[in-house]
């Protein structure tokens, strides 16, 4: 036992841990990025080939961030985008979960809705963004609607799958005790379908972020997407990168938050094979 | 009469679906012609059909579909090839995994489509920027799922082949490759969806042809019906792509029951 | 009339058939099954696989409807499932999102008993099945044998008139299974419940039961009811006694030709 410990020194062990090597890789990547940029700047190619129209150094991104923050532009844009995300995402939960549930339990309704849901699901919904803006004009509402169109389908379909795959034998248990339909719904169907529904929400987050960006491209007074678009047209990549980084970080943080919600709502679920949920993460 | 009822019962789902589509289209048309009567807003099936006919006659349909198709097929193919290759490397080489894993995880979960405006600035409004965007949209799901598929191979199967004296090479081709195919297929499906979105959104950001261009240009000119023609084309394209993939899956991995 | 009221459970002329897409007509699962169970009796049902033992048990509980015949529990007709019957399901049918104690109280909760009151009562049953100290564990943290103990406590807490057990030990390993059999007999002595126990293990049926009901292949009929006159309480060692082995031989010979029959039928239907 003692020799085994000696053979695997602590330092080496922590060095090899996924977190450590991950952080190291990210830091090295950023450093490399900075070096490449400085090297290009020294040769002068940056200006000759207009590389500085789309390429920045990490340090310039930090500078742009500070500048946008000072002018108040950043906060305002974040605020608008966040509202669009929030409204659209909440709406897609409020619509997607009940409709998915009804489709899973009411066969007739499912027969009628299925062709339309499948058809719209097969269409990339971002394609509808310009049309939505023509219909509803500028502002927060149309972009929220684009967010909704993106996020609602994964939530709806995962709710449907979750309810459809509720374990029959657990329903039988409640029936055997003389439980009512209401009790079957509350005590078995809802808890058993929760992990699938949350997996749908996790997928919806990603779609919602894309919805924010594409929606703002067509009709926004403010927002991170419109900021990205504006500065890329002005050939100022600094603010563009700031917008991208914030959206990516926001997307990942929300993703993690939904995962935490998952663990909190269904702590018993963690042990189950992630594969089952992963299998649903499609399209 | 009862014979009719029986036929209906036997194919209830199909009849309901057909009825639903007919009723939906009829309702849509009624709203268009009777209630709103504004071609900017209400675009009934009739207007879309008419717009399709006109665009077809002008050769616009073929031109835009061709442009998007080329962007899609080149970017997607490159994404699949690179994704599978890197996925295998990451799964087999520890060092590759250590270096690439954090980046791949971020890129897989992040909306990479956000990079579209930068690519367009860098590569211009032509086809090159679109192929690049389709590529980065498609590459990560394939890469991630290939990696996951190879690293989650059932060790009992590996042991079974080793017990028969199988070489590492034999293990790779007889166990690892076939048993990771379902995961790779899942990755492909994700990639198809993201690649189509990548093509359309990058065309929105700046282009001269393509279905995304058709949609954004038509809406800017308030020709909503033309934009809907683009949407319908995408729906059909998406459907065809997923059906082809399903067919390929059945051919390549008939033992695996697809969940879609 | 006195004879009827002396029986805990009376089954008369029970019939059931299923519609299957594979066959043209309905498939007769069983036709005309009648028997009686005395109070506090332990009865096992055995028969060739696929003969409909589980279906039969589910019909007794009212989980699935019957085509005809009567089921009387304490003289009252069984129409639907309810807390007067305790059903112990085959594999882990515990609610994954509930702790042991919250799984045990399910039946009381469904009847509208407050959770606090139900939990107090549950302690006693958790102790009965030997799970004290595991109240706050989740099902996935328990072994198969422990999960079945929870299942048992869950069925017992509603104080049912009869316990219907559907191959509860089928997925346990041989050693755990033996321990659970002995434990079940101990609990049965303590609670004095009437038990109907479905199993495909002849040895298990004989060890546990007062009488073993042998079903024939589908359409199932009662082939024979074998009395088990072994003294109680029974030690596990009894399984190696002459009498026990003779009984097992007898039950097995009853089932053997039924098994062959049903295998022949499965071949015809293309199942095998």
Given CB atoms, is A176 within the 8 Å cutoff of chain C?
yes
Q: What is the mean pLDDT of chain C?
A: 86
Crossing angle of helices B45-57 and B60-92, rounded to 10°: 90
**pLDDT score recorded for residue A146:** 93
Q: What percentage of chain C exceeds 90 in pLDDT?
A: 36
**pLDDT score recorded for residue A8:** 40
Contact: A283, B189; criterion CB under 8 Å:
yes
| CA distances to C45, C53, C54, C146 from C199, in Å | 6, 8, 9, 19
Q: In this structure, what token pair is assigned to residue C115?
A: 């959770």
Contact: A124, B200; criterion CB under 8 Å:
yes
SS3 A149: helix
Contact: A179, C110; criterion CB under 8 Å:
yes
Phi, psi of A74 (to 5 degrees): -65, -50
Given CB atoms, is C113 within the 8 Å cutoff of chain A?
no
Q: Could you tell me the sign of the dihedral formed by the alpha carbons of C141, C142, C143, C148, in that order?
A: negative
CB A199 within 8 A of CB A280: yes
**pLDDT score recorded for residue A258:** 85
**pLDDT tens sequence across A18-52:** 677 778 888 888 899 888 888 888 887 777 777 77
Place of tokens 């600094």: A238
Q: How far apart are CA B174 and CA B161, in angstroms?
A: 8
Work out the number of other CB atoms within 10 angstroms of the CB of residue A55.
19
Q: Could you tell me the sign of the dihedral formed by the alpha carbons of A154, A160, A165, A169, in that order?
A: positive
Number of helical H runs and strand E runs in chain A: 15, 0
CB C37 within 8 A of CB C56: no
- Nearest by CB to residue A173, choosing from C82, C85, C93, is C93
**pLDDT tens sequence across C3-17:** 445 788 998 888 888
In this predicted structure, the answer to whether residue C92 has a pLDDT above a threshold of 80 is no
Contacts of B24 in chain A (CB under 8 A): 116
SS3 C12: strand
pLDDT confidence band for C24 (50 / 70 / 90): low
Report ipTM for this prediction. 0.85
CB B98 within 8 A of CB B163: no
Contact: A266, C82; criterion CB under 8 Å:
no
**pLDDT score recorded for residue C23:** 62
Higher pLDDT, A274 or C82: C82
Give the angle C112-C115-C121 at the CA atoms, nearest 5°. Answer: 100
Contact: A134, B260; criterion CB under 8 Å:
no
Contact: A178, C81; criterion CB under 8 Å:
yes
Contact: A111, B201; criterion CB under 8 Å:
no
Contact: C93, A179; criterion CB under 8 Å:
no
Place of tokens 């067919």: B247
A-interface mutation test, from C93, C136, C166, most A Cβ less than 10 A away: C93
Q: What pairs with residue C213 in β-bridges? A: C45, C225
Contact: B109, A255; criterion CB under 8 Å:
yes
- Chain A closest CA to B170's CA: distance in Å? 27
Q: Which residues of chain A, if any, have pLDDT below 50? A: 1-13, 273-283
**pLDDT score recorded for residue A7:** 41
Place of tokens 């509808």: A128
Contact: A130, B227; criterion CB under 8 Å:
yes
Mean pLDDT, 10 residues at a time, chain B of 260 residues: 73 84 86 74 84 92 94 96 94 86 82 84 88 94 92 85 84 88 89 92 89 92 90 90 86 68
Neighbouring residues of C54: CB distance < 8 A, sequence distance ≥ 6: C90, C166, C167, C198
- Nearest by CB to residue B114, choosing from A18, A54, A228, is A228
**pLDDT score recorded for residue B259:** 47
pTM: 0.82
Mean pLDDT across C177-204: 91
pLDDT confidence band for C18 (50 / 70 / 90): confident
Q: How far apart are CA A105 and CA A115, in angstroms?
A: 17
Given CB atoms, is C114 within the 8 Å cutoff of chain A?
no
Nearest chain A residue to C82 by CA distance is A178
Within 81-120 of A, beta carbons closer than 8 Å to B belong to 108, 111-116, 119-120
Q: Which residue from A127, A253, A92 is spatially nearest to B227, judged by alpha carbons?
A: A127
Contacts of B100 in chain A (CB under 8 A): 25
Given CB atoms, is A237 within the 8 Å cutoff of chain B?
yes
**pLDDT score recorded for residue C208:** 94
**pLDDT score recorded for residue B109:** 76
Within 181-240 of A, beta carbons closer than 8 Å to C belong to 183, 187-188, 191-192, 194
**pLDDT tens sequence across C170-187:** 888 888 899 999 989 998
In this predicted structure, the answer to whether residue C1 has a pLDDT above a threshold of 80 is no
Higher pLDDT, C260 or A7: C260
Q: Which residue from A82, A139, A126 is spatially nearest to B202, judged by alpha carbons?
A: A126
């Amino acid at each position: 036992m003692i020799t085994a410990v000696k053979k695997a020194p602590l330092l080496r062990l922590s060095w090899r841990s996924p977190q450590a090597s991950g952080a190291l890789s990210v830091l090295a990547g950023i450093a490399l990025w900075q070096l490449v940029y400085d090297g290009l700047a020294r040769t002068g190619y940056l200006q000759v080939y207009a590389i500085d129209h789309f390429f920045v150094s990490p340090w310039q991104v930090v500078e742009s961030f500070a500048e946008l923050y000072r002018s108040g532009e950043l906060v305002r844009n974040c605020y608008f985008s966040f509202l669009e995300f929030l409204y659209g995402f909440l709406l897609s939960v409020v619509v997607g979960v009940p409709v998915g549930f009804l489709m899973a339990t009411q066969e007739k309704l499912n027969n009628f809705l299925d062709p339309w849901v499948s058809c719209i699901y097969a269409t990339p919904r971002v394609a509808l963004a310009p049309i939505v803006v023509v219909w509803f004009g500028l502002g927060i509402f149309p972009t929220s609607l684009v967010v909704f169109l993106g996020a609602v389908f994964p939530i709806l379909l995962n709710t449907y799958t979750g309810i459809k795959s509720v374990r029959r034998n657990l329903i039988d248990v409640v029936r055997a005790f003389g439980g009512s339909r209401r009790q079957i719904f509350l005590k078995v169907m809802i808890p058993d379908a929760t992990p699938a529904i949350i997996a749908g929400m996790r997928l919806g987050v990603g779609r919602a972020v894309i919805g924010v960006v594409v929606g703002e491209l067509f009709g926004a007074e403010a927002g991170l997407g419109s900021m990205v678009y504006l500065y890329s047209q002005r050939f100022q990549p600094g603010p563009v990168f700031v917008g991208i980084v914030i959206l990516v970080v926001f997307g990942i943080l929300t993703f993690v938050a939904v995962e935490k919600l998952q663990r909190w709502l269904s702590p018993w679920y963690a042990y189950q094979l992630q594969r089952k949920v992963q299998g649903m993460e499609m399209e | 009469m009862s014979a009719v009822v029986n036929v209906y019962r036997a194919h209830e789902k199909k009849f309901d679906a057909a009825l639903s589509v007919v009723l939906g289209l009829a309702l849509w048309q009624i709203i268009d012609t009777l209630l709103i009567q504004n071609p900017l807003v209400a675009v009934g099936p009739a207007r879309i059909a008419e717009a399709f006919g006109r665009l077809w006659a002008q050769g616009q349909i073929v031109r835009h579909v061709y442009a998007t198709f080329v962007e899609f097929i080149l970017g997607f193919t490159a994404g699949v090839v690179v994704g599978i290759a890197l996925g295998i490397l990451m799964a087999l080489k520890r060092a590759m995994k250590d270096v690439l894993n954090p980046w791949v995880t971020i890129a897989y979960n992040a909306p990479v489509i956000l990079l579209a405006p930068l690519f367009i600035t860098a590569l211009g409004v032509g086809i090159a920027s679109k192929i690049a965007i389709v590529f980065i949209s498609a590459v990560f799901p394939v890469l991630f799922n290939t990696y996951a598929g190879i690293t989650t191979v059932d060790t009992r199967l590996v042991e079974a082949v080793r017990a028969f004296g199988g070489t590492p090479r034999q293990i790779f081709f007889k166990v690892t490759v076939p048993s990771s195919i379902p995961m790779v297929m899942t990755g492909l499906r994700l990639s198809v969806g993201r690649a189509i979105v990548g093509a359309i959104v990058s065309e929105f950001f700046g282009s001269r042809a393509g279905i995304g261009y058709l949609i954004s240009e038509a809406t800017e000119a308030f020709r909503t019906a033309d934009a809907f023609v683009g949407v319908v084309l995408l729906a059909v394209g998406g459907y065809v792509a997923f059906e082809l993939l399903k067919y390929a899956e059945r051919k390549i991995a008939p033992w695996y029951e697809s969940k879609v | 009339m006195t004879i009827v009221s002396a029986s805990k459970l009376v089954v008369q002329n029970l019939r059931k058939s299923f519609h299957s897409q594979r066959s043209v007509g309905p498939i007769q699962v069983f036709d005309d099954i009648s028997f009686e169970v005395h109070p506090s009796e332990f009865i096992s049902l055995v028969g060739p696989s696929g003969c409909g033992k589980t279906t039969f048990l589910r019909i007794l509980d009212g989980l699935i409807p019957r085509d005809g015949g009567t089921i009387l529990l304490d003289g009252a007709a069984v129409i639907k499932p309810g807390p007067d019957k305790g059903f112990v399901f085959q594999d882990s049918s515990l609610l994954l999102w509930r702790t042991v104690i919250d799984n045990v109280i399910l039946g009381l909760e469904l009847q509208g008993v407050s959770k606090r009151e139900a939990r107090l009562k549950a302690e006693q049953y958790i102790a009965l099945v030997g799970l004290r100290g595991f109240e706050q564990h989740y099902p996935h943290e328990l072994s198969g044998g422990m999960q079945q103990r929870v299942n048992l406590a869950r069925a017992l807490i509603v104080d049912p008139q009869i316990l219907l057990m559907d191959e509860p030990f089928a997925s346990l390993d041989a050693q755990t299974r033996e321990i659970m059999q002995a434990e079940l007999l101990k609990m049965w002595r303590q609670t004095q419940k009437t038990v109907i126990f479905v199993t495909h293990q002849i040895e298990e049926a004989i060890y546990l039961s007062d009488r073993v009901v042998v079903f024939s292949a589908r359409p199932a009929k009662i082939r024979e009811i074998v009395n088990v006159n072994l003294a109680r309480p029974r030690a596990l060692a009894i399984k190696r006694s002459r009498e026990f082995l003779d009984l097992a031989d007898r039950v097995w010979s009853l089932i053997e030709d039924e098994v062959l029959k049903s295998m022949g039928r499965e071949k015809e239907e293309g199942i095998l």
